[in-house]
Amino acid sequence: MAIALESETQSLKQRAAAKGLFFGAAARHRDLLSSQSLANSYIRECSVLVPEWELKWAAGDLPLRPNLDRFDFTRSDEMLRFARANGLSLRGHALVWHLSNPRWLRETLNPSNAEQLLTSHIRTVAAHFAGQIHSWDVVNEAIEVPDGRSDGLRNSLWLESLGEAYIDLAFRLTAQVDSRALRVYNDYGLQYATSSHESKRKAALKLMERLIVSGTPVQAFGIQSHLRAGETRFDAERLRRFLKDLADLGLKILITELDVSDQNVPANPSVRDRLVADAYREYLDVVLDEPAVIGVVTWGLSDRHTWLSGDKPREDGLPVRPLPLDENLERKPAWWAIAQAFDNAPLR
Ligand code: XIL
């Protein structure tokens, strides 16, 4: 009896750790640090915390990069302090991205100052946290096949100013200033058996190969994993193949932004919760079977705060339920699906 109770109360981080994996979640400073009960849920379930906004160049009311000359670490330092005080490690997201950039950057950036701007950003930010970061998303979302380039790279502000070399530069700089943080390339739209995901997988593998052949110090691949409940275009074998191809390149793999949109499934909350849980289970069963996968991060922890309420709202206006805990911080079927997936995962 005592044993059964203990296994029921084991948190996600404990179940993950029992297999040599980690579990974590993203949070915004203002949500996490204004609610003790929410903070307690993070402390209980997570061994890794990801600032959802606070390490982007500009997001929220106190941006990391208010202007060309300034770096404001107020919020990110507070999140680091929270993490360390409670035994979590902080995962950095993200040094280079085409979104959440300040207007001054978009207005200033040109081919003659871009290298200097990227260099000073990474040197300052990665150095500020050196030795204290679990892993850095060094480059986020650099692939966009529909942009029409033969290498599949996105026509981002950085690509326009520096060409594809901005990616190599970002990884090299990060390695120079913080050799201890695992260096991750992170992207989305990779998990389904659709033609757009298939072509993105191809482009991603091509990019990783190019980086590795050039000696660029990328160490891991982050699969964001924004899933959809009720999505039938899932092919376990194709996903396994992709994971294996990444692993064969010598890369570790992280699941970095897992959540399950319930935008297009029936309103009934228990039906929805079951379909969301099914999506978590189906996905994690495949992913955790790949030995190169080292951990899982959900993009938020409780349905109380999720980017999907703005990004993928339901037509009927009902609150979305994409995360492991409900709005009252109670464990949902999704939580149990993740828990079981960890329990069933092979030991690393
Ligand atoms: C999202 C945040 O969750 C939102 O709060 C913010 O407004 C925009 O960014 N891919 C990423 C994340 O890499 O940074 C995004 O996060 C979600 C999609």
CA 325–ligand 1 middle distance (angstroms): 19
Does pLDDT of 1 surpass 90?
Answer: no
Mean per-residue pLDDT for 12-20?
98
Minimum-distance ligand 1 atom for the alpha carbon of 307: 3
Residue written as tokens 């160049």?
Answer: 57
pLDDT, one tens digit per residue, over 45-101 is 999 999 999 999 998 889 999 999 999 999 999 999 999 999 999 999 999 999 999
Mean pLDDT of the chain: 97
How many whole angstroms separate alpha carbon 311 and alpha carbon 342? 28
Instruction: Compute the distance from residue 307 Cα to the ligand 1 centre, in Å.
Output: 7
Instruction: Give the pLDDT of residue 131.
Output: 98
Q: Is 307 in the pocket of ligand 1 (CB under 6 A)?
A: yes
299 alpha carbon to ligand 1 midpoint, in Å?
Answer: 9
47 lines ligand 1 (CB under 6 A): no
Ligand 1 atom 5: residue of nearest CA: 307
Q: Look at residue 59 in the predicted model and tell me its pLDDT.
A: 86
Asked if pLDDT for residue 269 goes beyond 80, the answer is yes
Would the pLDDT of 4 be above 60? no
21-45 residue pLDDT tens = 999 999 999 999 999 999 999 999 9
- Asked whether the predicted pLDDT for residue 6 surpasses 70, the reply is no
pLDDT tens for each residue of 125-144? 999 999 999 999 999 999 99
In terms of C-beta distances under 8 Å and separation of at least 24 residues, what long-range contacts does 60-66 make, across chains too?
60/28, 60/29, 60/30, 63/102, 64/125, 65/102, 65/105, 65/121, 66/102
Question: How many whole angstroms separate alpha carbon 336 and alpha carbon 276?
Answer: 11
Integer Cα distance of 113 and 103 in angstroms: 16
Q: How many CB atoms lie within 10 A of CB 6?
A: 10
Specify the pLDDT at position 5. 60
Q: What average pLDDT score do residues 179-196 get?
A: 98
Residue 62 has what pLDDT? 92
- Per-residue HEC secondary structure of the chain comes to CHHHHHHHHCCHHHHHHCCCCEEEEEECHHHHCCCHHHHHHHHHHCCEEEECCCCCCCCCCCCCCCECCECCCHHHHHHHHHHHHCCCEEEEEEEECCCCCCHHHHHHCCCCCHHHHHHHHHHHHHHHCCCCEEEEEEEECCECHHHCCCCCECCCHHHHHHCCHHHHHHHHHHHHHCCCCEEEEEECCCCCCCHHHHHHHHHHHHHHHHHHHCCCCCCEEEECCEEECCCCCCCHHHHHHHHHHHHHCCCEEEEEEEEEECCCCCCCHHHHHHHHHHHHHHHHHHHCCCCCEEEEEECCCECCCCCHHHHCCCCCCCCCCCCCECCCCCECHHHHHHHHHHHHCCCC
* Residue 264: CA count within 13 A, CB half-sphere: 6
Give the residue whose CA is nearest to atom 16 of ligand 1: 52
CA nearest ligand 1 atom 7, residue: 307
Q: Looking at the predicted structure, is the pLDDT value of residue 7 above 80?
A: no
Ligand 1 centroid, distance to 7 Cα (angstroms): 34
233-243 confidence digits (pLDDT tens): 999 999 999 99
CB contact at 8 A, 154 and 143: yes
Predicted pLDDT at 140: 99
Distance 56 CA to ligand 1 centre (A): 10
Residue 168: C-alpha distances to residues 39, 80, 159, 181, 224 (Å):
37, 27, 12, 16, 21
Token duo for residue 132: 């204290």
Distance (angstroms) between ligand 1 centre and the Cα of 295 equals: 19
Q: Which residues contact 334 (CB under 8 A, 6 or more apart)?
A: 260, 273, 276, 277, 280, 322, 323, 324
Question: How confident is the model at residue 170, as a pLDDT?
Answer: 99
Percentage of the chain exceeding pLDDT 90: 97
Using the predicted structure, report yes or no on whether residue 123 has a pLDDT greater than 60: yes
What average pLDDT does the segment 268-284 reach? 98
Does the pLDDT value for residue 328 go beyond 90? yes
Residue closest via CA to ligand 1's atom 3 equals 307
Tell me: pLDDT of 2 over 60: no
Kindly state if the Cβ of 52 falls inside 6 Å of ligand 1: yes
Asked whether 326 lines ligand 1 (CB < 6 A), one says: no
- Closest CA relative to residue 181, chosen from 227, 149, 152, 222: 222
Q: Is the CB of 224 under 6 A from ligand 1?
A: yes
Q: How far is ligand 1, taken at its centre, from the CA of residue 52, in Å?
A: 7
What's the CA-to-centroid distance between 100 and ligand 1, angstroms? 9
Name the residue among 225, 231, 236 with its Cα closest to residue 295.
225
Q: What pTM did the predictor assign?
A: 0.97
Higher pLDDT, 274 or 6: 274
